[in-house]
Structure 1
Amino acid sequence: MNNAHNPQRLHALDNLRALMMWLGIVLHVAINHLTVASPLPWRDPKTSPVADMLLLFIHSFRMPVFFVLAGFFVALLVARRGADGMLKNRSLRLALPFAVFWPPLFVLTTVLAMVYIHLTVRGVPGIDTALTPARQPGGSPFNTMHLWFLYQLFWFSALAWAGVRLQRFVPMRVRDAVARGFAVLAERRWGFVVLALPLAVTGAFHPSGMVMESGSFLPPFTEWMQSGLFFVSGWYLHRDRDRLLALFAARCKGHALAGLVFFIATIALLGALHGPGAHRLPHPEFWIAFAYNATSWLWSLALIGGFVRYLPRQNAVLAYLSQSSYWVYLVHMLGTIGFGILLFNAPLGAVAKMGLNIAATSLAALASYQLLVRCTPVGTLLNGRRAGKRSGAQPTKARALAAK
């Protein structure tokens, strides 16, 4: 993006990325209170359809937006620093934090999860390895947990580096045709339909048509496909950024309403899948996956455009939340599980417990950031040198956006 002509737009995207990171707290608290089958092996005794709807709602756009923005900023880094500079930056901001934080977070999260599982099964705190879910034969006891995003994003960055290095072997007309193809899909009102179709095909092989992250160090192809298409779209968005971001801003309300229509269709199809007439619905997983991924594309475009249009600047509060968001993303699972354990036997309803857990996890994460991270080498590792200074000066746009 030409900074001389659009000095604020990168702040808009940075604000959006911070919000998506913070929504991870809401999403993982909601998982504690699901009424439907949970992706995690623990559950609070108080459940609510509100939790079901929050999970479905946030999951529909949170990671798609993340990967679109990730692809955009990787392309931005390549434009400014070259392929080697981009890979060095991604290694320092993604691979190194993963290597440093994954081991202690894995141990702590596993211990807390075992206590929560013991509570779920027996009603009292404790640890019993016999209660942990059985692994498939030959399966690894280790996984990337919620850090799977860092893990996948680094490998996408490495693939982008290889693609830049090998592009000289691809005719220019082919490269331009691919770039024009993505631009056409982004600017045409029907483009989301084409983009949702391949994800509907891959989603059809998953229960209820939804690709859920396994956290595996060797994710299946469908997970790479799900994340990769959004990443590649973000990469090509950077190529025609001024025109497309302005277009998304102008259409943000229309994209949001259209996404709502497909979200309601997803809920209706899920109800039909588990209802008495399920046998009469041909290929239900495909149609659920199509409606849900159409929602993902439309709401991703709506959020990007909405932030460009309505939150183009970064004030002191937004800058602080943006700087703290990486740390919050890393440690928030400890809070959502830990406070879930503390609230397990509280005489409160599910919604009240969720609110308390979200507030407590947010405050604990912010306090730990302020006291242990912001002005320390850890803050420099996560956000770059300027973000950790007590001077309060905002980081330069390029450093702030490339830092995570």
Structure 2
Amino acid sequence: MLTATNNRRHDLDALRACAMLLGIALHAGLAYATFGWAVTDPSQSEVFNWFFFLVHGFRMQLFFLLSGFFTAMIYQRRGLKFLLNHRLKRVALPLLIFTPILTPLVEWVLRMARTKQGNAEVFNSVTNVPWLETFNFHHLWFLWFLCLMVLAFALISALPKPRISKKWINSPRCLLWLIPLTMLPQLWMTRAYPLYGPESSLNFIPIPYVFFYYAIFYGFGAILYHFGDEVVTKHWKLKLLIALCVLFPSGMLLEWWSLYNVPTLQWVSDLLQVSFSWLMIFACIGLFREKLSQPSPKVRYLSDASYWLYLAHLPLVFGLQLAILDWPLSSWVKFLLVNLFSFSLLLISYHYGVKGKILGKLLNGK
């Protein structure tokens, strides 16, 4: 999905796949968090709250940054016409094909879940609301965002390019402007969505500040391609340690504290949240650059499969969560079962129904 040349960045391909697969595990764990989900299992643990916010705090930001990086790579090597054709096949067509299939399927499973849990009346659709305001892409919203961002990239590519010093891109100095810039939409999101991490925009008309937030990561990824990612990802172990052990827990605790006790401290939590996102992204790129730069058939297989796995996973995960809802098992056992069966079934469907077939050529170009 992300590359179109023989000179692959195997590490970033693998990292993109990891971001996709983490999304499946994230959705699998939400039924067992304590704040409620489409399927709310009676067996819950606050550990899944922390797991969700940890992954949610950087995963999609990382994905959009990588998308911007590879967009710039394709544009530089093959030109704008090839780029638009490539994104049409890999992004726009899958969106057009899978939205009318998966959206009704997800809605159907959701209705079953709400009926079984006795809260269907809470989710009854509102009448007299314009279609554009009620249409829901669900987990495919990122494809719609990518279509819009590619169009914006094409328009910007025709403009004169300002001179930018490398030290403000491929060095720790980039955080001096990336963090304040990212805080602007984060402040808006937190006030509309008072939980840790970014808001999602699932409708046809994007929420402006959500789109701007992810566009920052996409745009920086495109810029980073031209300047290289060697320096900014150095000392990834230290970045990972600071992100996981300092920024994330302090941001979570302060988010909770500011929400219930001192709302004026919310901006400090926002600062910690966006700092966590950037350090985690740079740490992950550095980690994969060091460990997975060389080609590996197994990693390449998962990288190719991850696109299909993520596209198809949500109704299956919903269905599995609902199927074992009444089983007298711990949340941990149920979480493992949902992941085991969903990944197994999705991989089987990829291997026998997608790989090497017309659908596989559409999603991966082969």
TM superposition score normalised by structure 2: 0.91
Does the alignment pair 1:287 with 2:284? Answer: no
Once residues 239 and 325 of structure 1 are traced to their aligned partners in structure 2, the CA distance between those partners, rounded to angstroms, is 27
**What is the CA distance between 1:225 and its match in structure 2?**
1.3
Q: Counterpart of 2:23?
A: 24
1:4-403 equivalences in 2 (<5 Å)? 10-36=9-35, 38=36, 40-121=37-118, 130-135=121-126, 138-140=129-131, 141-165=134-158, 167=159, 170=160, 172=161, 175-177=162-164, 180=166, 182-183=168-169, 187=173, 190=176, 193-208=179-194, 210-241=197-228, 245-260=229-244, 261-275=246-260, 278=261, 280-284=262-266, 286-385=267-366
For residues 292-336 of structure 1, give each alpha carbon's deviation from its aligned partner in whole angstroms, at most 9, with x where no partner exists.
Answer: 111111100110111111221231110110110110010010221
The 8 Å contact of residues 320 and 338 in structure 2, kept in 1 or not, is answered as yes
The 8 Å contact of residues 102 and 312 in structure 2, kept in 1 or not, is answered as yes
For residues 363-396 of structure 1, give each alpha carbon's deviation from its aligned partner in whole angstroms, at most 9, with x where no partner exists.
Answer: 01001101111121000000002xxxxxxxxxxx
The 8 Å contact of residues 84 and 161 in structure 1, kept in 2 or not, is answered as no
Mark the runs of 5 or more structure 2 residues left unpaired by the alignment.
1-5
**Aligned Cα root-mean-square deviation (Å):** 2.2
State the AA in 2 paired with 1:363. S
Between the aligned residues of both structures, percent identity stands at 26
For residues 244-264 of structure 1, give each alpha carbon's deviation from its aligned partner in whole angstroms, at most 9, with x where no partner exists.
Answer: x22244221121122121111
Matched positions, count = 357
In 2 relative to 1, CA 86–188 (structure 1 residues): closer, same or farther, beyond 3 Å? closer
In 2 relative to 1, CA 349–302 (structure 1 residues): closer, same or farther, beyond 3 Å? same
Once residues 334 and 189 of structure 1 are traced to their aligned partners in structure 2, the CA distance between those partners, rounded to angstroms, is 38
**What is the CA distance between 1:112 and its match in structure 2?**
0.8
Whose relative contact order is higher, 1 or 2, with alpha carbons under 8 Å and at least 6 apart?
Answer: 2
Question: Secondary structure at 2:194's aligned position in 1?
Answer: helix
The 8 Å contact of residues 340 and 357 in structure 1, kept in 2 or not, is answered as yes
Once residues 150 and 280 of structure 2 are traced to their aligned partners in structure 1, the CA distance between those partners, rounded to angstroms, is 24
Once residues 111 and 57 of structure 1 are traced to their aligned partners in structure 2, the CA distance between those partners, rounded to angstroms, is 29
Q: Counterpart of 2:3?
A: none
The 8 Å contact of residues 31 and 38 in structure 2, kept in 1 or not, is answered as no
Once residues 10 and 307 of structure 1 are traced to their aligned partners in structure 2, the CA distance between those partners, rounded to angstroms, is 10
After TM superposition, where is structure 1 displaced by more than 6 Å over at least 4 residues in a row? none
**What is the CA distance between 1:287 and its match in structure 2?**
2.5
**What is the CA distance between 1:133 and its match in structure 2?**
4.5
State the AA in 2 paired with 1:259. A
In 2 relative to 1, CA 199–290 (structure 1 residues): closer, same or farther, beyond 3 Å? farther
State the AA in 1 paired with 2:310. Y
Structure with higher Rg: it is: 1
For residues 55-110 of structure 1, give each alpha carbon's deviation from its aligned partner in whole angstroms, at most 9, with x where no partner exists.
Answer: 10110111011011000000001101111211111011000011011111111111
In 2 relative to 1, CA 186–84 (structure 1 residues): closer, same or farther, beyond 3 Å? farther
Mark the runs of 5 or more structure 1 residues left unpaired by the alignment.
1-6, 123-127, 386-404
State the AA in 1 paired with 2:302. L
Question: Secondary structure at 1:33's aligned position in 2?
Answer: coil
Once residues 343 and 122 of structure 2 are traced to their aligned partners in structure 1, the CA distance between those partners, rounded to angstroms, is 30
Once residues 334 and 47 of structure 2 are traced to their aligned partners in structure 1, the CA distance between those partners, rounded to angstroms, is 12
